[in-house]
Amino acid sequence: MDIINSLIYLAHKVIKFYPQLLSKHFKAFGFILFSLIAAKQAIGETIQISFTQFDTYSPEVAHIEVGDTVVWLPTSEGHNVEFLAGPEMNNIPPKSVVNSSHSILFKKSGIYLYGCTPHLNIGMIGLVVVGNDLRNIKNIKEVELPRVAKSVLQKLIVDAQSYANSK
């Protein structure tokens, strides 16, 4: 990502300081610039979620685009990430090891529900909403959860819906 940004910056400098070079190789130059911008969009962003000392994820609801990567950071001890549901129930992301960072690239839009294996009973759960696509929300609501987690989930779903409505 940084390399692409530097190349785009360099391309802008060339346009500014060597316009004669640009007019000579206009097509080639335009093609390179266009490819760099396309590559930048295809690479996707990286979103960080941390574990807190209050046994929660921060943020609890992450809104990302298809192709973005979420990285969970072990910023507080004793937590992990275990996926409980997603848009494709037969293809949910892998579970992480306690106290380690976990990184997942999301290729399919929809809502993903995950929780912390040791703290599911006290409601340590989170949602990743990919592409602002809430079409599997019914399946998410039907996931069997401990009582406290169920109530946290209701709150997170309200958050996800109000975000979707604000777009």
| Least distance from Cu ion to the Cβ atom of residue 55, Å | 5
Instruction: Provide, rounded to whole angstroms, the least separation between the CB of residue 82 and Cu ion.
Output: 10
| CB nearer Cu ion, residue 87 or residue 126 | 126
Near Cu ion in 68-107, by CB under 5 A: 79
Site string for Cu ion, 21-60 (x = CB under 5 A): ----------------------------------------
Is the CB of 6 or the CB of 151 nearer to Cu ion?
A: 151
β-strand 69-73 against 102-105: which pairing, if any? antiparallel
**Applying CB under 5 A, does 116 fall inside the site for Cu ion?**
yes
* Least distance (Å) between residue 74 CB and Cu ion: 10
Pairing of strands 46-51, 69-73: parallel
Which of 124, 125, 128, 140 binds Cu ion (CB under 5 A)? It is 124
| The one-letter amino acid at 133 | D
Q: What is the DSSP letter of 131?
A: T
**Helical (H) or strand (E) element with 82:** strand 82-85
Q: How far is the CB of 148 from Cu ion (least distance, A)?
A: 13
Cα-based angle 85, 71, 120 (whole degrees, multiple of 5): 45
- What lies within 8 Å, CB to CB, of 29 at 6+ separation is 11, 14, 15, 21, 22
* d(C-alpha 157, C-alpha 112), whole Å: 11
DSSP state of 64: E
Q: 56, 119, 156, 157: which one contacts Cu ion (CB under 5 A)?
A: 119
CB of 56 to Cu ion, least distance (A): 8
* Binding positions for Cu ion, rule: CB under 5 A: 79, 116, 119, 124
